[in-house]
């Protein structure tokens, strides 16, 4: 049976859009308090590019580089992430980033650190509509708690401009901090009690 699009709303298309939007929901798992964008012209603008897939066309929110064409994002997650895909949306001109380099689990990366070998490098195409997905090598991005994204160059402009970055994958809650605290308390308490018992005896003898 043919799939017709009448003047009314297409339910099937709406469901497909909702499913695709949900797939790009890792922006919800970013620790925004610690998110960094180095060389952003306007402070805090780097964080605005991580938003719902349905809002990627909002051209009022973007990040532009300052001193040169480089941008570096340090993205901490609230748990462990399996990163499967990335979308990078910019202008259809020279300001669009031309290359993307991904690093995993190197918190507080600086531009000096980008001399290291990345986990994966992508040659980007201009994507003004946010339609191109770049698939990651999942084996290399299966346990990511911190992602760094380095954009070293664009298509010839003095500055780089990005409107939207989409991150697709799976998220797992991290428990390691709670376990560490419990172990510490269990091992520390008996020692405290022993000291309390020994100390009064010592004072009594002297």
Cα distance between residue 125 and residue 34, in whole Å: 29
Is residue 32 a contact partner of residue 78, using CB atoms and an 8 Å limit? no
pLDDT at res. 4: 44
Q: Which of 173, 169, 134 has its CA nearest to residue 22?
A: 169
Question: Can you give the CATH number for the domain in which 59 is found?
Answer: 2.60.120.470
Tens digit of each residue's pLDDT (9 = 90 or more) over 130-166? 999 999 999 999 999 999 999 999 999 999 999 999 9
pLDDT at 66 > cutoff 90: yes
In a domain, 204, yes or no: no
What is residue 41's predicted lDDT score, i.e. its pLDDT? 98
Residues 130 and 164: their CA atoms lie apart, in Å, by 7
- Is 168 domain-assigned? yes
Q: Is the pLDDT confidence value at 31 over 90?
A: yes
> Residue 19: its pLDDT value, please?
73
- What is the average per-residue pLDDT within 114-137? 97
Question: Within 13 Å and on the Cβ side, how many CA atoms surround 205?
Answer: 4
Task: Say if residue 13's pLDDT is above 90.
Answer: no
Per-residue confidence (pLDDT) for residue 96, from 0 to 100: 98
Question: What's the pLDDT score for residue 81?
Answer: 97
Report the pLDDT averaged over residues 115-119. 97
Question: Mean pLDDT throughout 103-130?
Answer: 97
The three-state DSSP-derived secondary structure of the chain is CCCCCCCCCCHHHHHHHHHHHHHCCHHHHECCCCCEEECECCCCHHHHHCCCHHHCCCCCCCEEECCCCCEEEEEEEEEEEEEEEEEEEECCCCCCECEEEEEECCCCCCHHHHHCCCCEEEECCCCCCCCCCEECCHHHHCCEEEEEEEECCECCCCCCEEEEEEEEEEEEECCHHHHHHHHHHHHHHHHHHHHHHHHHHHHHHC
61 HSE (CA, 13 A, CB side): 14
pTM, to two decimals: 0.77
**How many domains does the chain fold into?**
1
Looking at the predicted structure, is the pLDDT value of residue 183 above 50? no
Q: How long, in residues, is the chain? A: 206
Can you tell me the distance from the alpha carbon of 65 to that of 95, in angstroms, rounded to the nearest whole number? 9
Give me the pLDDT at residue 14, please.
Answer: 65
Taking the C-alpha atoms of residue 116 and residue 136, their distance in angstroms, rounded to an integer, is: 18
Q: Does some domain include residue 37? A: yes
How far apart, in Å, are the Cα atoms of 73 and each of 54, 194, 203? 22, 50, 59
Average pLDDT of the chain? Answer: 85
Looking at the domain assignment, is residue 153 inside a domain?
A: yes
Q: What percent of the chain has pLDDT over 90?
A: 73
Q: How far, in whole angstroms, is CA 97 from its chain's centroid? A: 17
- The answer as to whether 23 is a domain residue is no
**pLDDT at residue 17, rounded to an integer:** 66
The residue segments making up the domain with residue 65 are 32-173
Residue 79 has a pLDDT of 97
Select the highest-mean-pLDDT range: 12-21, 120-129, 178-187. 120-129
pLDDT at 23: 86
Average of pLDDT values for 23-35? Answer: 95
End-to-end alpha carbon distance in the chain = 98
């Amino acid at each position: 049976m043919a799939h017709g699009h009448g003047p009314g709303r297409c339910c099937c298309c709406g469901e497909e859009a909702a499913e695709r939007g949900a797939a790009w929901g890792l922006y919800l798992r970013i620790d925004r308090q610690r998110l960094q964008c180095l060389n952003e012209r306007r402070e805090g603008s780097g964080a605005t590019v991580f938003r719902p897939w349905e809002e990627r066309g909002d051209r009022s929110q973007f990040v532009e580089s300052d001193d040169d064409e480089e941008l570096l994002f340090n993205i901490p997650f609230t748990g462990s992430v399996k990163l499967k895909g990335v979308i990078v949306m910019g202008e259809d001109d020279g300001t669009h980033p031309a290359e993307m380099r991904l690093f995993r689990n190197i918190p507080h990366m600086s531009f000096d650190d980008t001399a290291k070998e990345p986990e994966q490098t992508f040659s980007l195409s201009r994507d003004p509509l946010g339609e191109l997905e770049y698939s990651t090598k999942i084996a290399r991005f299966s346990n990511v708690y911190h992602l760094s994204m380095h954009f070293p160059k664009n298509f010839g402009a003095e500055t780089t401009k990005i409107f939207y970055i989409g991150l697709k994958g799976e998220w797992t809650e991290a428990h390691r901090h709670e376990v560490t605290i419990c172990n510490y308390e269990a091992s520390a308490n008996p020692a405290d009690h022993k000291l309390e018992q020994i100390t009064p005896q010592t004072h009594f003898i002297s």
